[in-house]
Amino acid sequence: MNFAGSFPGTRMRRNRYDGWNRRLVAENALSAADLIWPIFLCKGEGQRIPVASMPGVVRVSADLAAEHVAEAAALGIPAVALFPYTPIGERDEDGTEALDPDNVLCRAARALKAAHPDLGLIGDVALDTFTTHGHDGVVRDGYVDNEESVKILCRQAVLMAQAGVDVVAPSDMMDGRIGTIRAALDAEGLIHTRIMSYAAKYASGLYAPFRDAVGSEALRPDSKRLGDKKTYQMDPANSDEALREVAMDIAEGADMVMVKPGLPYLDIVRRVRDAFGMPTFAYQVSGEYSMIMAAVERGWLDHDRAMMETLMAFKRAGCHGVLTYFAVSAAKLLKAG
């Protein structure tokens, strides 16, 4: 019996028949050049400390930073993002450690730039890893003070750039900080230092493992901690507001913009990319990573498939690149073909 006439002339499955054909017609491609690897830095020497809530992730001391990123650089990952851990006893209410030119982030930046001059360094500009209360700015009368915080963030950004950081990445969500930081950098002759703005950063429940990694959860009991960051990070209910935030940061001089978290906010990534055509990045945050790894450890998900599928989702949404703790694992898999 002949059923040939019961199918249309076009069969979508034909181009899925062979692996080479699927590769040939793929609409998006992922490469190591799309990945930025966040790393955590700690004080001391010879330190490599596992982060309990992030399987496979460690904090490393500045003296081991160059060795730690060597594989990433060899795999063609273009940049690493630096996040410091400050012991609780060395924090204060105003995060003054952030303004020490010899703090762990600055020391690591100098070492990394000396050992890997072609590897991009992205430095986190915020005070949460330096304050006893864990907020991204300074607290005055029970409120995160915008103007005073911005003044400190400007000084922090300049110190990072002078230490060798190529891209300062304000993650604090204070109003007006991009323009003020740009002016401060230019005043110091740091005209080539780029700004990657955390332009649309949401008040998310997916940051908890990161706060464990940088020590912002186990704070001193006597600190004046407010409990959440909803007065400055964005409401997950809003998307039009994200476009306003991005537009303001671009107008103030941002060179690149970021959406954070990643997978739950791919609609925001697409809207930002379509609206502005700017280099647009997303952060596959710690909670996203840890959820996948927890499922992998229980045998519920295949590590490589889950990793690559989620990273491709960022590219499909329009990301130029993604900050991800999977960067090295993904780059190794891509290299293996």
DSSP collapsed to 3 states, the chain: CCCHHHCCCCCHHHHHCCHHHHHHHCCCCCCHHHEEEEEEEECCCCCEEECCCCCCCEEEEHHHHHHHHHHHHHCCCCEEEEEECCCHHHCECCCHHHHCCCCHHHHHHHHHHHHCCCCEEEEEECCCCCECCCCCCCEECCEECHHHHHHHHHHHHHHHHHHCCCEEEECCCCCCHHHHHHHHHHHCCCCCCEEEEEEEEECCHHHHHHHHHHCCCCCCCCCCCCCCCCCCCECCCCCHHHHHHHHHHHHHCCCEEEEECCHHHHHHHHHHHHHHCCCEEEEECHHHHHHHHHHHHCCCCCHHHHHHHHHHHHHHHCCCEEEECCHHHHHHHHHHC
Q: Is 260 a catalytic residue?
A: yes
pTM over 0.75: yes
In the predicted model, what is the mean pLDDT of residues 108-114? Answer: 98
* Mean pLDDT, range 69-81, rounded to an integer: 98
Distance CA 99, CA 96 (A): 6
The band of 89, judged by pLDDT with boundaries at 50, 70 and 90, is: confident
**Mean pLDDT across 131-142:** 92
pLDDT(211) > 60: yes
Tens-digit pLDDT profile for residues 12-29: 999 999 999 999 999 999
Measured from the Cβ of residue 147, the count of other Cβ atoms closer than 10 Å reads 13
Token pair of 46 as six digits: 């010879």
Look up residue 132 and give its amino acid.
Answer: T
Instruction: Decide if 230 is catalytic.
Output: no
Q: Which of 260, 315, 332, 335 is catalytic?
A: 260
Q: What is the pLDDT of residue 227?
A: 66
- Per DSSP bridges, beta strands 139-140 and 143-144 are antiparallel
Q: Which residue would you say has higher pLDDT here, 39 or 211?
A: 39
> What residues contact residue 203 under an 8 Å CB cut-off, 6+ apart?
228, 229, 230, 233, 234, 235, 236
Residue among 151, 201, 224, 230 flagged as catalytic: 201
User: Mean pLDDT in the chain?
Assistant: 94
How far is residue 332's CA from residue 337's CA, in Å, rounded to a whole number?
9
Q: Which amino acid is at 290?
A: S
The per-residue pLDDT for range 49-67, each reduced to its tens digit, is 999 999 999 999 999 999 9
**In this structure, what token pair is assigned to residue 111?**
């070492």
pLDDT at 2: 56
CATH level 3 topology of 30-336? TIM Barrel (3.20.20)
Residue 7 burial by Cβ neighbours in a 10 Å radius (0-12, 13-18, 19+): exposed
Q: Which residue has the higher pLDDT, 132 or 196?
A: 196
CB 184, CB 157: distance < 8 Å:
yes
Q: pLDDT digits over 154-205, tens only?
A: 999 999 999 999 999 999 999 999 999 999 999 999 999 999 999 999 999 9
The strand pair at 35-42 and 194-201 is best described as unpaired
Section 207-229 average pLDDT: 70
CA 221 to CA 132: how far, in whole Å?
Answer: 9
- pLDDT tens figures, 157-171: 999 999 999 999 999
Inform me whether the pLDDT recorded for 4 exceeds 90: no
Q: What is the pLDDT of residue 228?
A: 84
CA neighbours within 13 Å on the CB side: how many for 254?
27
Least confident of 95-99, 209-213, 238-242: 209-213
